[in-house]
Amino acid sequence: MTIAAAPPATDERVARTGLLRRLLVKPELGSLIGALLVFTFFAVLSDVFRSTSGVANWLDPASTIGIMAVAVALLMIGGQFDLSAGVTTGTAGLTTAILTTHYHLVLWVAMAVSLAVCLGIGFVNGYLVMRTRLPSFIITLGTFLMLQGLNLGLTKVITDTVSVGGISSEPYYETAHKIFASTITINGQPFEIAIVWWIVATVVASYVLLRTRFGNWIFAVGGDVNASRNVGVPARRTTITLFMGVSGAAWFVGTTQVIRLTSVQANSGFGLELTYIVAAVIGGCLLTGGFGSAVGASLGALIFGMTSQGIVYAGWDSDWFKFFLGAMLLLAVLSNQLVRRYAEQSRR
Amino acid sequence: MTAARPAGGDPLLELRNISKHFGSVIALKDISTTVRAGQVTCVLGDNGAGKSTLIKILSGVFAPDAGELLFDGAPAHFGSPRKALDAGIATVYQDLAMVPLMAVWRNFFLGSEPTKGWGPLRVFDRATARRVTRAELAGMGIDIRDTDQPVGTLSGGERQSVAIARAVHFGARLLILDEPTSALGVKQAGVVLRYIVQARERGLGVIFITHNPQHAYPVGDRFLILKRGRSLGDFAKSEISRDEMTQLMAGGTELEELGHELDRVAGDDPAMGAVAEQITAEAVAKGPDGPAVDGPAAPG
Ligand SMILES: Nc1ncnc2c1ncn2[C@@H]1O[C@H](COP(=O)(O)OP(=O)(O)OP(=O)(O)O)[C@@H](O)[C@H]1O
Ligand SMILES: [Mg+2]
């Protein structure tokens, strides 16, 4: 009765998972193709776009969006949203600027306080989401509105205006400038140092996601939080850490902005939260969580940077930017959907 | 190796008048039993009887609303599944507790990832995870095509096998299996029963939930029978025969009624008539003493 076949060395059924399928289940594949297409498109249209100065120009917005998009992508893989991510960059810059220029704190101390404030915002977001089990969309919509009001209200109360400046005359500004806002000259063309930090953030996030146990927990809490809990994953700690990662990144980007521009508007960062989410989704993050990549989110930010500058170089009205972006988002979501169906297709 | 096992090792886990309710639903009321090291305790009962709720209390998912839990003789409060796991309690949940989009090997070690290296460079030891996963699954007679494939693409039985292999790998003191054989083929179900026996021989306590008396009776040492959240009895094997157990589980009279009802519905459909006959026969406890592991024995 028993068929005593020795297990074959290689499984004859493996042929079904071919190279194509393996490539297709990579979340960043779509955004890589998208980035290549966008680059080719604008490079053909405009010489400046592919010149060194052009590249430096579109890498700059890509870098600050990219640092945030990477952190937001990890959070989205963990199954959550953060609508307060944009205004938190404003909060970071405002806190640093007000504490130095109005309360005469040393720049480093002010930046440390600002970091603590931002991490506190992330902690509160994460704690409330885990505690109440309400959708993070609602919780962070609340903190988003509160922060927006606080940024404006407190700035007006303290400074009587809606912008804070004069940070460049503070002691230690030069050192901070070196870290956050200096440039690196390649081929006679200065590149913003934020580009380097962006690459570092992408590499670190990818490493954490794919090579550490914390990375395993991120995928798990995003995929099925109950199952993760039941096998002993510290779901609450993981989620709170992810929210704090986003607000920590917001501190970094907000600090970069205030150091670079030497002043900050009270409405700074408003509206950017959607940009980060769009970049992460273009990069292959599923809105339902449990799937996505840091590299993909970075490529999404790159597409963002290239499109925003490319439209200017092509000599079009910048109003077209939003249209392009929306189309890109739709395309990305549709192709993600197809890829995921294909990847999950089981024998029926 | 003699087949003689200690008739009762040390009590590993004692439940004293455990109760649990969800809002107004009383899921469990006054449940008591003892799980000994080297013994298999079977929990049997209808759908909705409270079996899964009971084992979720033991595995730290729920806290009991009343009653006491003793682990190694000391009062225990497993505030979370993590604490229960750390105490050596591993569970195969009825819903399997796996993340569909994650690879098989990532799921296998989820929450208990092996690491290598130091400090911030401490990383998930992926080579070990892949190797162990493949070996443990092979041990179950499951030859997964590719441990990198997402769990969501596995068949129901393969998924169940992965969850069982995982619990067997991590269960050091107590193994809890909630209907582990419901989706398995005859061969794999046999492997699971063998695993249960092996775990018992190694001195682990085992809690085994099943609807199949043919699976439960041969491997069980104690039988806790639940109905609508209450205990119908907690029997040692010597105190109950398989037929008595089957009848208690099914609620003999209800099954008999079903038999009659089907008889009426069947009319002159011979196939339906045969089913009705069989159910009636089972209800009056004339079930054939078929071989233990081969699933429901065919009549005749
Ligand atoms: N989280 C919950 N909230 C409310 N009611 C619940 C919850 N979990 C279980 N129940 C209820 O408790 C009762 C017992 O459920 P339980 O899952 O323990 O049954 P079971 O014996 O495992 O059934 P089955 O054989 O179908 O798996 C059911 O009536 C169920 O509706
Ligand atoms: Mg159940």
Q: What is the pLDDT of residues A77-92, one digit of tens each?
A: 999 999 999 999 999 9
Residues of B in contact with A211 (CB under 8 A): 123-124, 126
Measured from the Cα of B50, ligand 1's closest atom is 18
Order of strands, sheet of B66-71, starting from the edge strand that comes earlier in the sequence = B25-36, B11-22, B66-71, B74-75
Is A120 a member of any domain? Answer: yes
Q: Which residue has the tokens 């997964």?
A: B144
Is A40 a member of any domain? Answer: no
Whether A236 and chain B come into contact, CB under 8 Å, resolves to: no
Segment B196-206, tens digit of pLDDT:
998 898 889 99
Ligand 1 pocket: which of B31, B52, B160, B182 to mutate (most atoms within 8 A of CB): B52
Is A34 a member of any domain? Answer: no
Q: Spell out which residues line ligand 1, taking CB within 6 angstroms.
A: B 22, 25, 27, 45, 47-53, 94
Segment A53-77, tens digit of pLDDT:
999 999 999 999 999 999 999 999 9
**pLDDT band per the 50, 70, 90 thresholds, residue A18:** low
CATH number at residue A279: 1.10.3470
Is A79 a member of any domain? Answer: yes
Segment B65-104, tens digit of pLDDT:
999 999 998 999 898 999 999 999 999 999 999 999 899 9
| B124–A212 C-beta distance less than 8 A | yes
Q: Is residue B300 over pLDDT 50?
A: no
**pLDDT band per the 50, 70, 90 thresholds, residue B258:** low
Q: Write down the pLDDT at residue B154.
A: 86
| A290–B91 C-beta distance less than 8 A | no
Where are the domains positioned within chain B? 13-240, 252-289
Strands, E, within A41-139: which ranges?
none
Q: Write down the pLDDT at residue A344.
A: 59
CA B34 to chain centre: 16
Shortest CA distance to A277 belongs to which of A83, A123, A64, A115?
A83
CB A255, CB A92: distance < 8 Å? yes
Whether B89 and chain A come into contact, CB under 8 Å, resolves to: no
Residues of B in contact with A16 (CB under 8 A): 145
Both tokens of A296, joined, read: 């993909």
| B145–A211 C-beta distance less than 8 A | no
| B123–A229 C-beta distance less than 8 A | no
Both tokens of A237, joined, read: 């700690």
Mutation target vs A (from B91, B101, B126, B144; most A CBs, 10 A cutoff): B101
CB pairs under 8 A between A and B: 99
Is A348 a member of any domain? Answer: no
Is A154 a member of any domain? Answer: yes
Per the CATH hierarchy, to which homologous superfamily does domain B13-240 belong? Answer: P-loop containing nucleotide triphosphate hydrolases (3.40.50.300)
Three-state SS sequence of B103-147: EHHHHHCCCCCCEECCHHHCEECHHHHHHHHHHHHHHCCCCCCCC
Segment B93-130, tens digit of pLDDT:
999 999 998 999 999 999 999 999 887 778 999 999 99
Nearest chain B Cα distance for residue A295, angstroms: 18
Whether B108 and chain A come into contact, CB under 8 Å, resolves to: no
Residue A226, φ and ψ in degrees, nearest 5: -70, -45
Q: Under DSSP, is residue B205 helix (H, G, I), strand (E, B) or coil?
A: strand
Other C-beta atoms lying within 10 Å of the C-beta of residue A117 = 18
CA A258 to chain centre: 19
| Sign, Cα dihedral of A105, A110, A112, A118 | positive
What's the farthest any 2 CA atoms get from each other in chain B?
Answer: 75
Q: Write down the pLDDT at residue B261.
A: 65
Element (H, E) at B15: strand B11-22
Q: Which residues contact A269 (CB under 8 A, 6 or more apart)?
A: A86, A87, A88, A89, A90, A91, A93, A250, A254
Half-sphere exposure of B37 (CA within 13 A, CB side): 13
Looking at per-residue pLDDT, the higher value among B280 and B181 belongs to: B181
Average pLDDT over all residues of chain A: 90
Whether B95 and chain A come into contact, CB under 8 Å, resolves to: yes
Closest-approach residue (CA) in chain B for A236: B80
Residues of A in contact with B80 (CB under 8 A): 229, 232
Q: Tell me the CA–centroid distance for residue B260 and ligand 2, in Å.
A: 28
Residues of B in contact with A11 (CB under 8 A): 143, 145-146
Average pLDDT over all residues of chain B: 82
Q: Which residues contact B60 (CB under 8 A, 6 or more apart)?
A: B78, B79, B80, B81, B82, B83, B84, B85, B89
Q: Is residue B278 over pLDDT 80?
A: no
User: What whole-number distance in Å separates Cα of residue B40 and Cα of residue A237?
Assistant: 36
Total domain count, chain A:
1
Q: Is residue A106 over pLDDT 90?
A: yes
Is A22 a member of any domain? Answer: no
| B59–A233 C-beta distance less than 8 A | no
Residues of B in contact with A343 (CB under 8 A): 150, 153
Q: Which residue has the tokens 């209808």?
A: B46
Segment A181-240, tens digit of pLDDT:
999 999 899 999 999 999 999 999 999 999 999 999 999 999 999 999 999 999 999 999
Domain span at A285: 45-342
User: What whole-number distance in Å separates Cα of residue B188 and Cα of residue B142?
Assistant: 8
A315: left (phi over 0), alpha (psi -120 to 50) or beta: left
Whether A24 and chain B come into contact, CB under 8 Å, resolves to: no
- Residue nearest atom 27 of ligand 1, based on CA coordinates: B47
- Residue nearest atom 30 of ligand 1, based on CA coordinates: B48
Whether B98 and chain A come into contact, CB under 8 Å, resolves to: yes
| A11–B99 C-beta distance less than 8 A | no
Q: Write down the pLDDT at residue A347.
A: 33
Q: Is residue A3 over pLDDT 80?
A: no
Nearest chain A Cα distance for residue B252, angstroms: 36
Q: Write down the pLDDT at residue B172.
A: 84
Residues of B in contact with A345 (CB under 8 A): 153
Q: What is the DSSP letter of A234?
A: -
Closest-approach residue (CA) in chain A for B126: A211
Counting beta carbons within 10 angstroms of the beta carbon of residue A346, is it exposed (0 to 12), middle (13 to 18) or buried (19 or more)?
exposed
User: What whole-number distance in Å separates Cα of residue B11 and Cα of residue B8?
Assistant: 8
Is A83 a member of any domain? Answer: yes
Q: Is residue A6 over pLDDT 50?
A: no
Kindly state the average pLDDT of the residues A132-144: 96
Shortest CA distance to A195 belongs to which of A209, A210, A180?
A180
User: What whole-number distance in Å separates Cα of residue A35 and Cα of residue A31?
Assistant: 6
What percent of chain B has pLDDT above 70? 80
Nearest chain A Cα distance for residue B141, angstroms: 10
| B123–A223 C-beta distance less than 8 A | no
- Angle subtended at Cα A343 by Cα A337 and Cα A346, rounded to the nearest 5 degrees: 120
Measured from the Cα of B54, ligand 1's closest atom is 18
Whether A11 and chain B come into contact, CB under 8 Å, resolves to: yes
CB A91, CB A116: distance < 8 Å? no
